[in-house]
Structure 1
Amino acid sequence: MKVWRQLADLVAKQNAAALISVHDVKGSAPREVGARMVVRPDGAYHGTIGGGQLEFRMLDIAREMLGQGRPSARIVDQALGPDLGQCCGGRVKILIETFDRQDLPDLKPLIAEEAEGGQFQVECRLEHGRVRRELSSAVGDDAWTQWREVHGEALTPVLLFGAGHVGRALVLALAPLPFSVRWLDDRDDAFPAHVPANTTPVALRDPEAEIAEADPRSLILVMTHDHPLDMAIAAAALRRGFPYVGLIGSATKRARFEKRFRELGLSEEKIDALACPIGIPGIAGKEPAIVAASVVAQLLQIRERTASGLNLSPLSASNDKSAP
């Protein structure tokens, strides 16, 4: 969710909106620091901080603050177990802010940075009952900062070779998730007329160049219409050593490819890294949507294992002065 764009659009259309953010977490909680919701004056909202009684209570506070008619900020320190009856057992601080049209100029730099994609860091402090935010690049004095926020999300790059039925199902399954997909096929008119915003369709001309130039963090999926092409792409990807190289096909196809990989001089360690069949074990369905769901679950597992190299901390206290 483009938080700042969403917030500004609501303010422009309805004169006011609220932002609810998970500011701090101790112990177990429904969502992580940095989870956010944008709330309309009528109580409708986008996003979630975890649902349940916590979310309902924060929405009530946000609506009350919006009804007061003046922009403000409030940090709510909330125990989840005894206060709300939620079994998480942790404690959270929730930052609730309201905005009106006077705030639109201050939102523009955040909207512009958000539009660039990826993550960016914001320096924050409470001033006169409001949160003042500055992009990190605009703050020279670290003592100014009471806490830092990270907005946006680091996208894991995916190279998807093949625009057949499973490839199309995969693109749709990946659309709402934190992946950036480069979708490659060498056939004319292979791609549908419309693709998700996180997907870039590319006419495949030089498979080995695509592999050579790819971000080393990329997850590689190979499912073209041509087995020799699959072989060439998979061999190049295994030789370079990406976090994940997945090849669509059966155990029989894998055995044939392994034999050819050895003839090409790939080490057993490189060959063992191949995921084929693709997807998580225990799902036998062959329908494209089922295969896609299984593969996406596997990619999410890989993303979790490599996340430390992709993500900034969602929010960090500077001097522990953020709570009044």
Structure 2
Amino acid sequence: MSFDLDALRDAVAAQGRVVRVVIAAIRGSSPREVGAAMLVWEGGQLGTIGGGALEFAAARAARALTQDRVTQHPLGPALGQCCGGAVTLLSEVYDAARLAATDADIGVIARAVGGADQMPLAVARLLARARDRGQQPEAQLIDGWMIEPVHRPAREIWVWGAGHVGRAIVGVLAPLPDIALTWVDTAPERFPEQVPAGVTVLPAARPEVLVPRAPKNAEHLILTYSHKLDLDLCHALLCQGFAFAGLIGSATKWARFRGRLADLGHGANRIARITCPIGDPALGKHPQAIALGVGAALLRPGRVEATELKEGLA
């Protein structure tokens, strides 16, 4: 888990004062892991620390806070939960001034909590590794200091097309913290009025010219309204390189595309790196059903290979 500084900045900008509640330590069974966090303000919250009763009590207490505090919560006896463990919660009050003073230059946020003062040697060593070697530590509470790596999405996914399926897929993937979404279509009016937070929208009359802007390790989902545009994007991606590319359509569409891509000079092995169809036929052809199937495949452990989505929407 990691410290989502962008989400905190957005919340402070919108709400003014926000309390960040993070699981700093656990003992025994816990509904969430160390580093799981939620943002709480008067009338709302974002994120979850899990546990139902634990989260409700922590959010209620956070709204009354005027200063940081560390609290211990035995989950069974105190809250009537079945976990049987205990969690340590760190609740920190943020406003614009505190946020501006938060040091995240080396990609780690470290601060003393609960009255601790001088930085322990163990913390100094972790920060030195992050600064000198780029080794990011896990979220943890050490000798009265809370250490958290700054959140950086591990995966970049580009969604090409803002039609029904594109909107459904963005809706499924946008809440996931380890995914950075870029959404492309031919004009601003193709996108919904409300785009999920954190999604980068790129309208372009010729979307294929944006392909070189995508990192070579990006993953792509091609879902446009036009077969010609789909083909242009497949061609551009095969020239550019990618970690994964999936194309919506039938087996017949893909057979035609394979022939056209071959005519454009792409070899069979390279063309086979594109997955078509996508989705899970057992879930049906409704846009949300397709989105669930695609999302599940993308979230399977390990690299998404072409074979994982091959038996998709026919």
TM-score (norm 2): 0.67
Partner residue in 2 for 1:291: 290
1:305 to 302, 305, 309: 302
Partner residue in 2 for 1:106: 98
Distance 1:8 1:220 in 2: 32
| Deviation for aligned residue 1:215 | 1.1
Partner residue in 2 for 1:165: 164
Matched to 1:125, the amino acid is A
Please state whether the residue corresponding to 1:305 is helix, strand or coil: coil
| Deviation for aligned residue 1:203 | 0.9
Distance 1:187 1:104 in 2: 35
Distance 1:131 1:28 in 2: 31
Please state whether the residue corresponding to 1:282 is helix, strand or coil: helix
Please state whether the residue corresponding to 1:298 is helix, strand or coil: helix
CA contact (8 A) 2:280 2:290 kept: no
| Deviation for aligned residue 1:154 | 1.5
Please state whether the residue corresponding to 1:50 is helix, strand or coil: coil
The yes-or-no answer on 1:249 pairing with 2:252 is no
TM-score (norm 1): 0.65
Q: What are the superposed Cα offsets for residues 167-197 of structure 1, whole Å, 9 maximum, x if unpaired?
A: 3333444443344333333468534455334
Distance 2:274 2:28 in 1: 38
Distance 2:191 2:78 in 1: 52
CA contact (8 A) 1:278 1:295 kept: yes
2:69 to 70, 73, 81: 73
Moved more, 243-252 or 190-199: 190-199
Partner residue in 2 for 1:320: none
Distance 2:104 2:29 in 1: 31
Equivalent residues in 2 for 1:1-324 (5 A)? 2-3=7-8, 6=11, 12=17, 18-25=19-26, 29-40=30-41, 45-56=45-56, 58=58, 62=61, 71-76=67-72, 78=74, 91=85, 93-97=87-91, 99=93, 105-110=97-102, 120-126=107-113, 128=115, 146-154=145-153, 156-178=155-177, 179-186=179-186, 189-197=189-197, 198-205=199-206, 207=208, 209-284=209-284, 286-301=285-300, 305=302
Structure 2 unmatched ranges of 5 or more: 120-126, 132-141, 305-314
Matched to 2:302, the amino acid is R
Please state whether the residue corresponding to 1:167 is helix, strand or coil: helix
Distance 1:200 1:104 in 2: 27
Partner residue in 1 for 2:308: none
Aligned CA distance change for structure 1 residues 8 and 33 (closer, same or farther; 3 Å) = farther
CA contact (8 A) 1:159 1:219 kept: yes
Structure 1 unmatched ranges of 5 or more: 308-324
Aligned CA distance change for structure 1 residues 145 and 58 (closer, same or farther; 3 Å) = closer
CA contact (8 A) 1:279 1:297 kept: no
Question: Relative contact order (C-alpha < 8 Å, sep 6+): which is higher?
Answer: 1
